[in-house]
Amino acid sequence: MDISKLVAELREERARLDEAINILVKLPQSGTPRRGRPPAWSRAAAVTPRSRNGQNGSLHVAASSLFKG
């Protein structure tokens, strides 16, 4: 068992947990949506929504790839 590798993995996990905690702390407490563009940190943390065909991405991109000649 390599102790240095174990310590490195634990540090990476701690960094991920710290990032998740910071995002949760920054979430608005009121729960009401705010007007305007969301801050950059929340856009970067957002997960890409699934499209209607069950895959990530746009339906337009999938449709346009079908009609390339």
50, part of any domain: no
45, part of any domain: no
4, part of any domain: yes
39, part of any domain: no
Q: Domain containing 22: what range?
A: 1-29
In this structure, how many other beta carbons lie within 10 angstroms of the beta carbon of residue 39? 10
Phi first, then psi: give them for residue 10, nearest 5 degrees: -65, -35
More confident residue, 39 or 67: 39
Please state the domain count of the chain: 1
46, part of any domain: no
The per-residue pLDDT for range 3-60, each reduced to its tens digit, is 999 999 999 999 999 999 988 888 766 667 778 887 787 776 665 555 566 655 555 5
Prediction pTM value: 0.42
